[in-house]
Amino acid sequence: MATRGLTPEKNAEERTRLWQFARETGMTRRHLLKLLSAGGAAAVLASCTGLAPPTALPSVGENSSKAPLYFKDPTPFIDHGAGNLEARLENMEGLVTPSRFFFVRNNSERLDVDAADWRLSIEGDAVANPLELTYDDIRDMPSRTYISYLECAGNHRALFDLVKGKPAKGTQWKTGAVSNGIWTGAALRDVLVRAGITSEANSVLLIGLDTGAPEGGFRRAMPVEKALDQDTLLAYGLNGDPLPKDHGFPLRALAPGWVGAASIKWLGRIVVSSEQIWTRNNTTSYTLVGDAYGQEGEAPGKPVTSQTIKSALALPWPADLAAGARSLHGYAQSPAGPVVKVEWSLDSGATWNDSTLEEQRIQPEFERLAEALGDDAFRYSWTRFSFRWDARPGEYTIMTRATDAAGTTQPDEIPFNEKGYLFNQPAPHPIRVA
C-alpha cells in the first residue's frame, strides 16, 4: 500500500492525508485500506467523488510543491499562493478583461483534463433520464454568448482589516478578485431538460473534478430556480477562445450575479435532488457568520448566494502618481442590473462628485465576437467609469460609490463576518502624489 518513490515518512503523510479526506466524505477506514490495496490513491479519490479520475490528478507526491500552480504567467498578478492570482485592475483599460489578466481562484491544484476523455454525468432522484454527455454533445447544443463579471465572494476581504481593523479569515484579496469576460456555452437549463428534470426538483449540486478540493471535488448547490435560469451557463468559451485551463477547461458553470464559488470549474457531475442539499460550501464555508446574521438550515449563518454592488479604482494599492491633471478610471458592478451612477470623494464621504460612465463597448480585439452577442449582452457586465482630478503633491484617500438601476447604493457600513465575504462599503484607496 506504499506509494512508489516516496520515503516511509512521506508514505505516512500521504496515508494520513488520504484518510482525512476520505473520512470527510463518509468512507470507513476498512474501505479505504481495501481501495488502497486495489488501486492506490487514485482509486480512493475516484471512489470519494463517484467519478473516474481526471487526466491529471492533483499531485500528492513528494514533488507536488514544486509543480507550477498555474498554466498562465503569474507575473501580471498579485500571487497569494495556493493557486490564487489577484488581478491588477490597473492592467485593464477596456471593458473586457483579457484572459491573460483574468483572476484565478483555485480550491486545490490545477487540472489538465483531456476533452476527448471528459464526460459530464447528470443524475439524482429528480431526473427521469440520467445521462452522460461528451464535450461534443455540449458544444452541439444551442449556445449563448454574453458578457459577465465573475467575482470571488471574498473580493475586498482585506478591507475588513484595513478599514475596520478586524481581520477576517481567508485569502486577503484587495480589489482584484474580479474580472469581466465574454462567455460562451450551453444553458444548464437545456441539459437538465434533456435529463428529464422533474417537478420535484429542489436543489442542483454541481461537482468539479478537482478531487484534491474539500469533499472530493469542489461543489456547490443552487436552488432549481437559479439552475433553470436561461443565463446560467455551462461555459466552454472565454473571450472567443476555448476555456483556458486555469479557468476550468473543458467546462465550467457560470452563475451570473452569484459569487464565484457557484461557477464550478472542471465540471464533471450534476446531481439533481428533490431535497435541499447541504455541503461544506453552504454550511461551514461561503456562509455569513457573525452577530448580524442568523442561522439558516444546517448552516451556522446565512449561505452566500448573490454578489453585492461594488466599485474600485484601477490603480495599484497604494498608488503613486505624478502631480498634475489626471484622468482616473475604475470599474463598478452589481448583480441587480447595470450600474447607473458612480461617485467619488476626497474627504471620506463628506461630499461626493459624479464620475462619467463610459459607453458599454468591447475593445477592438474582441469585435469579432460582436455578432454572437444578443441585445442583453451587457446585462451582467461591469461598468467602466472615469473622472478628472487635479492631483497636487501630498497623500490622499479617494473613495468611490456605485448605484445600480434598482436603486441600490454601496452602504456606508457593513457588519463583520468571520470569513470576510461580500465587503462592499466604499473602499478608501490610498494615493501618494509627488
3-state secondary structure the chain: CCCCCCCHHHHHHHHHHHHHHHHHCCCCHHHHHHHHHHHHHHHHHHHHHCCCCCCCCCCCCCCHHHCCCCCCCCCCCEEEECCEEECCHHHCCCCCCCHHHCCEECCCCCCCCCCCCCCEEEECCCECCCEEECHHHHHCCCEEEEEEEEECCCCCCHHHHHHHCCCCCCCCCCCCCEEEEEEEEEEHHHHHHHCCECCCCCEEEEEECCCCCCCCCCEEEEEHHHHCCCCCEEEEEECCEECCHHHCCCCEEECCCECHHHCCCCEEEEEEECCCCCCHHHCCCCEECCCCCCCECCECCEECCECCCEEEECCCCCEEECCEEEEEEEEEECCCCCEEEEEEECCCCCCCEECEECCCCCCHHHHHHHHHCCCCCCCECCEEEEEEEEECCEEEEEEEEEEECCCCECCCCCCCCCCCCCCCCCCCEEEEEC
- Whole-angstrom distance, CA of residue 288 vs CA of residue 300: 8
- Here the cell at position 244 is 483556458
- How confident is the prediction along the chain (434 residues), in pLDDT tens digits per residue? 343 333 434 444 555 556 555 554 445 555 555 455 444 555 455 455 444 444 443 333 333 345 688 999 999 999 999 999 999 999 999 999 999 999 999 988 899 999 999 999 999 999 999 999 999 999 999 999 999 999 999 999 999 999 999 999 999 999 999 999 999 999 999 999 999 999 999 999 999 999 888 888 999 999 999 999 999 999 999 999 999 999 999 999 999 999 999 999 999 999 999 999 999 999 999 999 999 999 999 999 999 999 999 999 999 999 999 999 999 999 999 999 899 999 999 999 999 999 999 999 999 999 999 889 988 899 999 999 999 999 999 999 999 999 999 999 999 999 999 999 999 999 999 999 99
Start-to-end CA span in the chain (Å): 64
CA 77 vs. chain centroid, Å, equals 16
pTM of the model: 0.85
144-158 burial string, b = 16+ CB within 10 Å, else e? bbbbbbbbbbbbbbb
> Would you call 101 exposed, middle or buried from its count of C-beta atoms within 10 A (0-12, 13-18, 19+)?
middle
Q: Is 83 left (phi over 0), alpha (psi -120 to 50) or beta?
A: left
pLDDT in tens, 348-393: 999 999 999 999 999 999 999 988 998 889 999 999 999 999 999 9
Sequence letter at residue 290? G
pLDDT of residue 99: 97
Closest among 318, 314, 316, 285 to 300, alpha carbons compared? 285
Phi and psi angles of residue 296, each rounded to the nearest 5 degrees, phi first: -135, 120
pLDDT of residue 403: 98
- Here the cell at position 249 is 477547461
Q: List residues bridging with 353 in a β-sheet.
A: 344
Q: Fold for 310-360+380-433, please state it.
A: Immunoglobulin-like (2.60.40)
Q: List residues bridging with 133 in a β-sheet.
A: 120
- Here the cell at position 33 is 485500506
Closest among 22, 368, 78 to 215, alpha carbons compared? 22
Task: Specify the residue for cell string 420535484.
Answer: 200
CA 62 vs. chain centroid, Å, equals 29
Contacts of residue 76, defined as CB under 8 A and 6 or more positions apart, other chains included, come to 88, 91, 100, 101
Dmax over CA atoms of the chain, in Å, equals: 71
Q: Fold for 78-303, please state it.
A: Sulfite Oxidase; Chain A, domain 2 (3.90.420)
